[in-house]
Amino acid sequence: MLYRIFLGVLLVLCAGEAAQAQDYVPVISGAVGFLSTTSGGTHVNEPIIVPVLSAPIGDHILIEARGGFEEFFVQPNGTGPTSRQFFGGLDYAQVDVIVNSWLTLVGGKFITPFGIYNERLLPIWIHNLQNAPIIFTIGTRNSSESLGGMARGVFTPAKDLQVNYTAYYSTTNQSANWGAARTAGGRVGFFLPEQRFEVGVSYQRYLQDTHMNSFGAYLSWQPYSAPLDFKGEFAHSLNGYGYWAEAAYRLSRFRGPDSLVGRLQPVVRVQQFVRKQFTFEDALPGANTQEADLGVDYYLPHEIRFNADYGRQFSSQGNENIWDVGITYRFMLPLWPGGHR
């Protein structure tokens, strides 16, 4: 144990010294937040902290990790005693070897690159609506992380076209912090930077228990001509399929993005899931489900964001209202003295 502590201290010191030499400083970024949800009469309050480590070593190696520490205060029927439960763990912890733009090799625990929500939109300071889409677990079943290796990169075959890709293999693991399923898959995306338009497809082969394929397609568009943010995904698996489509419009044209009204961003999302065969393991709704969500984000100064949304879920198992309120603060700290401006 003591040797491990010593090695850890030595590693941190070496990383710090390397950072000094390379003119960068490892940083801890991320967000703290307080989220509150009422769904089907059950209240859940959730203080949460999500730290993200980024520690480059030289020009080609990067160590990165993200943790999630949250406490759930649950009041089952809106009245009565409140139970509490703490969850803490690593979302990912990986070593990246950046060969060039075309190829980065990743080893460790990484976010499963299926669609765009899991890898790009899941952090609490990024997504426009608090609750994840109902098809979220297609392609990210069991856990949204994988344990193994991945290759990824970006090509620029033409001036106005970028092609990005990922290909990965994950092994199975049952431990608490490193839990993952045996899967293989990948994603290909086509991005037009002049239009800020991207489409892509994902594939995953589930290689344990009942082997199955999952397919996905996504679209993301943020036109320069308007402060509109449009995103959508479709996903299909053996157990069901569905889609979500979301549009957000920042009112920044009303006296600029820093005005009282310009900080406001209304959001609307529609989604649907069709159940083909039932299983308890996939964490998808038990029956055909539709949902409509309406919300607002308010961007306060100093990286603080307030959001509130309402959703109505329609299902043969029972309709329900979902209310969310939350506030997040995005932070960034250098791990080494002298790193901050």
Partner 1 sequence: MRMVRIKVLSLCALAAFLYCVAQVHGQSAQSAAPAQPMSSEQTTQSGKPGSSAAASKQASASQGEKRFEAQCGRCHVPPEDLSPREARAVLRQMRVRAMISAEDERLILKYIAP
Closer CB to partner 1, 28 or 212, in the complex? 28
Closer CB to partner 1, 20 or 321, in the complex? 20
Rule CB under 8 A: which of 40-69 touch partner 1?
52, 54-56, 62, 64
Closer CB to partner 1, 119 or 282, in the complex? 119
Neighbours of 117 (CB within 10 A): 23
Does position 339 interact with partner 1 (CB under 8 A)? The reply is yes
What would the DSSP string read from start to end of 165-207?
EEEEEE--B-STTT-B--EEEEEEEEEETTTTEEEEEEEEEE-
From the list 32-40, 120-128, 205-213, 289-297, the region that binds partner 1 by CB under 8 A is 120-128
Could you tell me the maximum CA-CA distance found in the chain, to the nearest angstrom?
Answer: 62
Closest CA to 289 of 302, 273, 311: 273
Tokens describing residue 63? 């160590």
Does position 159 interact with partner 1 (CB under 8 A)? The reply is no
The residues near 185 (Cβ < 8 Å, ≥ 6 apart) are 112, 113, 114, 139, 167, 168, 202, 203, 204, 205, 214
Q: Residue 6 belongs to what H/E stretch?
A: helix 2-22
From the list 16-24, 38-46, 130-138, 210-218, the region that binds partner 1 by CB under 8 A is 16-24
Count of residues of this chain found to bind partner 1 when the rule CB under 8 A is applied: 59
Closer CB to partner 1, 195 or 319, in the complex? 195
Does position 16 interact with partner 1 (CB under 8 A)? The reply is yes
Applying CB under 8 A, which of residues 81, 159, 194, 318 lies at the interface with partner 1? 194
Shortest Å, Cβ 109 to partner 1: 14
| Calpha distance 227→253 (Å, rounded) | 8
Site string for partner 1, 244-273 (x = CB under 8 A): ------------------------------
Applying CB under 8 A, which of residues 42, 83, 156, 213 lies at the interface with partner 1? 156
What would the DSSP string read from start to end of 283-313?
-S-SS-EEEEEEEEEEEETTTEEEEEEEEEE
| Calpha distance 293→302 (Å, rounded) | 27
Interior CA angle at 134 toward 239 and 232, to 5°? 105
From the list 35-43, 216-224, 270-278, 286-294, the region that binds partner 1 by CB under 8 A is 216-224
Radius of gyration of the chain (CA): 21
Applying CB under 8 A, which of residues 30, 108, 139, 189 lies at the interface with partner 1? 189
Applying CB under 8 A, which of residues 226, 276, 303, 317 lies at the interface with partner 1? 303
| Calpha distance 200→76 (Å, rounded) | 40
* Burial of residue 138, with CB atoms counted within 10 A of its CB: 0-12 exposed, 13-18 middle, 19 or more buried: buried
Does position 119 interact with partner 1 (CB under 8 A)? The reply is yes
Applying CB under 8 A, which of residues 39, 75, 164, 279 lies at the interface with partner 1? 164
Applying CB under 8 A, which of residues 109, 141, 152, 236 lies at the interface with partner 1? 152
Applying CB under 8 A, which of residues 36, 222, 279, 290 lies at the interface with partner 1? 222
Residues found near partner 1 in the complex (CB under 8 A): 2-3, 5-6, 9-10, 13, 16-17, 19-21, 23-27, 29, 52, 54-56, 62, 64, 96, 98, 100-101, 104, 106, 119-121, 125-126, 152-154, 156, 162, 164, 189, 191, 193-194, 196, 220, 222, 224, 229, 299, 302-303, 330, 332, 334, 339-341
